[in-house]
Amino acid sequence: MFKYHYFYKITNLINGHFYYGAHSTNNLNDHYFGSGIKLKEAIKKYGKENFKLEIIKFFNTREELSEYEFNIVNEDLIKSKECYNICPGGLGSFNSKLILVYDKINNCKKFVNKEEFNNNENYESCNKGKVLAKDKEGNIYRININDPRYLNGELVHNTKGTTLVTINGINKRIPNEEYKHGNYKSPAKGHVQCIDENGNNIMVTTEEFKTNKKLKSIHKGKITVKDKEGNYKYVDINDEKYLNGEYEYMFKGTKNFINVKTGEVKRLKLNDPILETGEWVGQNVGKQIVKDKYGNTYKLDKNDPRILSGELVPNQLGNKHSEETKKKIGLYGKGRIWINNGIENKFIKPEEFINYIGYKKGKLTKKLT
Q: What are φ and ψ of residue 312, in 5° steps?
A: -115, 140
Residues 6 or more apart in contact with residue 284 via CB below 8 angstroms: 256, 299
- CB of 162 within 8 A of CB of 184? no
Distance separating alpha carbons of residues 91 and 66, to the nearest angstrom: 7
- CB of 56 within 8 A of CB of 36? no
* pLDDT for the residue 368: 38
Residues 6 or more apart in contact with residue 230 via CB below 8 angstroms: none
> What size, in residues, is the chain?
369
Q: What does the DSSP 8-state code read for residue 83?
A: B
CATH 3.40.1440.10 location in the chain: 1-124
Distance separating alpha carbons of residues 205 and 335, to the nearest angstrom: 35
- Closest Cα partner for 119 from 40, 236, 285, 31? 236
- Closest Cα partner for 145 from 155, 136, 135? 155
Distance separating alpha carbons of residues 298 and 207, to the nearest angstrom: 22
pLDDT tens digits for range 315-339: 888 777 777 677 666 666 677 888 8
In degrees, rounded to 5, the angle at the alpha carbon of residue 113 between the alpha carbons of residues 111 and 117 is 90
Beta bridge partners of 281: 258
DSSP secondary structure of 110-129: EEEEHHHHHH-TTEEETTTT
pTM for the structure as a whole: 0.42
* pLDDT for the residue 16: 95
- Closest Cα partner for 234 from 95, 114, 98? 114
pLDDT tens digits for range 56-75: 999 998 878 888 888 898 87
- Closest Cα partner for 345 from 328, 360, 329? 360
Distance separating alpha carbons of residues 223 and 248, to the nearest angstrom: 10
Neighbours of 188 (CB within 10 A): 12
* pLDDT for the residue 331: 62
**First vs last C-alpha separation in the chain:** 54
Residue 9, Ramachandran bin (φ over 0: left; ψ between -120 and 50: alpha; else beta):
beta
Distance separating alpha carbons of residues 63 and 125, to the nearest angstrom: 15
Question: Residue ranges of the chain with pLDDT lower than 70?
Answer: 1, 90-98, 168-171, 324, 327-333, 365-369
* pLDDT for the residue 163: 85
The CATH class, in words, for 1-124 is: alpha beta
